[in-house]
């Protein structure tokens, strides 16, 4: 158990938890800012969490759901107030209802996470600030301290697992609930470099080509909200052609890009017969490069499973290898 002290100050309305780890600060920081890692410990073991959004940047948002052994679920969210990587971040933590909207019945908590180097590794001090003594007592009665102890008890196994989250691993897919999937990979490049590679047509044409023998004759892309997007690929030998069209719904350069997407073809040039997906791209700096995380929302589970069965992840991996080899290493 990494926790070394838990202190409740009823005058200041705070709960402070200090925990020590035998890993560098950067490794501990990544465990909190990488959604694949934090969902392995944020919450008691019997209530694992799933993060559908996790923006480790000031002004960002996180959304998560804890699911119990009987299928009961409890939603939560973070509003990111400030980030000083890799030393500290501050979030406002609150409860969410079944639709993900912030709960008006339960209090929010301002949580300050401070990371410091020690002789043996790193120390994390988490200070929870409550709006009133009544709010502190209410959440304490709900088991907040016990929940934090249980969550912290799982961090050691996560931070010691270097291989699962290191750069160089292939593209991975994780199912999130009934209609979402998260596609993740660490790219050897800075956030700015990876952002440009995903938004500038000249760079996209160099790496997002699919299998050998295919070219991209059409690439209309950008990162302005409302901008229409269109990419088309062509088999240079057979002439077979397909592509995708959509619109930029949200853009926070260089960290978050949300777009809609429909598959198009010569027979269906506007994608009217294709189901629409919502693609949320988040870029997070981690040890070894930039974590690329796509959260894709499909109309239903059948469409999601059918798309994943086409080998989408393998195709994306081919592109990411080309991105590292031919664009970022240039």
- Whether the predicted pLDDT of 1 surpasses 60: no
Residue 116 pLDDT exceeds 80: yes
Label residue 213 by pLDDT band (50, 70, 90): confident
Q: Identify whether residues 188 and 227 lie together within a single domain.
A: yes
Q: What is the pLDDT of residue 209?
A: 87
| Mean pLDDT, range 299-323, rounded to an integer | 94
Q: Which of 239, 237, 246 is nearest to 264 (CA)?
A: 246
Half-sphere exposure of 33 (CA within 13 A, CB side): 32
Same domain, 154 and 180: no
Q: Are residues 92 and 45 part of one domain?
A: yes
Burial of 163 (0-12, 13-18, 19+ CB in 10 A): exposed
Angle in degrees, CA 139, 144, 149, rounded to 5 = 165
Report, as an integer, the average pLDDT of 151-176: 89
Spatial distance between the Cα atoms of 313 and 69, rounded to a whole number of angstroms: 30
**What's the CA gap between 66 and 82, in Å, rounded?**
25
Among 56-60, 152-156, 171-175, 294-298, the minimum mean pLDDT is found in: 152-156
pLDDT band, residue 147 (cuts 50/70/90): confident
Question: Measuring CA to CA, how many Å separate 269 from each of 114, 215, 274?
Answer: 52, 18, 10
Phi-psi region of 151 (alpha: psi -120 to 50; beta: other; left: phi over 0): alpha
Domain edge (last residue) among 163, 182, 205: 163
Q: Does one domain contain both 147 and 291?
A: no
Let me know whether 51 and 178 are in one domain: no
254 φ/ψ angles, rounded to the nearest 5 degrees? -105, 40
Locate 329 and state its tokens: 């290493």
Mark which of 163, 195, 226 sits at the end of a domain.
Answer: 163
Residues 8 and 142 grouped into a single domain = yes
3-7, 144-148, 179-183: lowest mean pLDDT where? 144-148
pLDDT of residue 98: 75
Q: What average pLDDT does the segment 37-41 reach?
A: 95
pLDDT value for 113? 98
What is the spatial distance between Cα 66 and Cα 143, in angstroms, rounded to a whole number? 15
Within 13 A of 218's CA, how many CA atoms are on the CB side? 15
If pLDDT is split at 50, 70 and 90, which confidence band does 316 have? very high
Q: Are residues 30 and 140 in the same domain?
A: yes
Looking at every residue in the chain, the average pLDDT score rounds to: 94
What is the spatial order of strands in the sheet that 61-67 belongs to? Answer: 3-9, 14-21, 122-130, 109-117, 88-96, 73-84, 61-67, 49-54
Host domain of residue 47: 3-163
Is residue 101's pLDDT more than 90?
no
Residue 103, pLDDT score: 87
Task: Note the pLDDT of residue 100.
Answer: 83
The tally of domains found in the chain comes to 2
Q: Are residues 124 and 199 in the same domain?
A: no
The residues that bridge with 123 in the sheet, in sequence order, are: 20, 116
Q: Please compute the mean of the pLDDT values over residues 271-282 and round it to a whole number.
A: 96
CA distance 218 to 201: 9
Predicted local distance difference test score (pLDDT) of residue 329: 82
Read off the pLDDT of residues 221-240 as tens digits, 9 standing for 90 and up. Answer: 999 999 999 999 999 999 99
**At which of 112, 144, 163 does a domain end?**
163
- What mean pLDDT do residues 167-194 have? 95
Q: 128 and 121 in contact (C-beta within 8 Å)?
A: no
pLDDT band at 8 (very low <50, low <70, confident <90, very high): very high
Calculate what percentage of the chain has a pLDDT beyond 90.
80
User: Quick one: 128 and 181 in the same domain?
Assistant: no
- The CATH number of residue 71's host domain is 3.30.530.20
Report pLDDT for 330: 64
Check whether the bond before 86 is cis (ω within 30° of 0): yes
Question: pLDDT, tens digit, for every residue of 45-99?
Answer: 888 899 999 999 999 999 999 999 988 899 999 999 999 999 999 999 999 987 7
Same domain, 127 and 234: no
Q: Span 256-284, mean pLDDT?
A: 95
**Is 88 in the same domain as 186?**
no
- What average pLDDT does range 266-271 have in this prediction? 91
With a CB cutoff of 8 Å and minimum separation 6, the contacts of 48 are: 39, 40, 66, 67
184 and 271 in one domain?
Answer: yes
């Amino acid at each position: 158990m990494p926790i070394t002290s838990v202190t409740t100050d009823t005058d200041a309305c705070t709960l402070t938890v200090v925990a020590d780890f035998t890993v560098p600060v950067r490794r501990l920081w990544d465990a909190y800012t990488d959604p694949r890692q934090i969902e392995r410990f944020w919450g008691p073991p019997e209530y694992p969490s799933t993060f559908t959004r996790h923006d480790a940047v000031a002004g960002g948002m996180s959304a998560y759901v804890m699911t119990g052994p009987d299928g009961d679920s409890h939603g939560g969210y973070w509003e990111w107030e400030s980030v000083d990587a890799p030393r500290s971040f501050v979030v406002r933590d609150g409860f969410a209802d079944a639709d993900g909207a912030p709960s008006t019945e339960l209090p929010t908590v301002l949580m300050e996470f401070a990371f410091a180097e020690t002789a043996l590794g790193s120390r994390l001090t988490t200070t929870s600030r409550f709006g009133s003594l009544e709010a502190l007592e209410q959440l304490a009665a709900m088991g907040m301290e016990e929940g934090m102890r249980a969550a912290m008890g799982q961090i050691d196994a996560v931070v010691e697992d270097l291989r699962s989250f290191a750069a160089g691993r292939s593209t991975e897919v994780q199912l999130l609930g009934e209609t979402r999937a998260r596609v993740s990979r660490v790219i050897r490049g800075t956030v700015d470099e990876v952002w440009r590679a995903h938004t500038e047509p000249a760079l996209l044409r160099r790496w997002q080509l699919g299998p050998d023998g295919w070219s991209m004759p059409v690439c209309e892309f950008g990162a302005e909200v409302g901008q229409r997007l269109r990419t088309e690929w062509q088999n240079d030998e057979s002439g077979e052609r397909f592509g995708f069209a959509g619109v930029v719904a949200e853009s926070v350069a260089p960290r978050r890009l949300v777009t809609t997407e429909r598959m198009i073809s010569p027979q269906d040039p506007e994608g009217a017969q294709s189901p629409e997906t919502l693609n949320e791209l988040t870029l997070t700096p981690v040890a070894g490069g930039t974590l690329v995380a796509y959260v894709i929302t499909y109309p239903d589970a059948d469409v999601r499973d059918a798309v994943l069965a086409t080998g989408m992840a393998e195709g994306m991996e081919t592109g990411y290898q080309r991105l590292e080899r031919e664009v970022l290493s240039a």
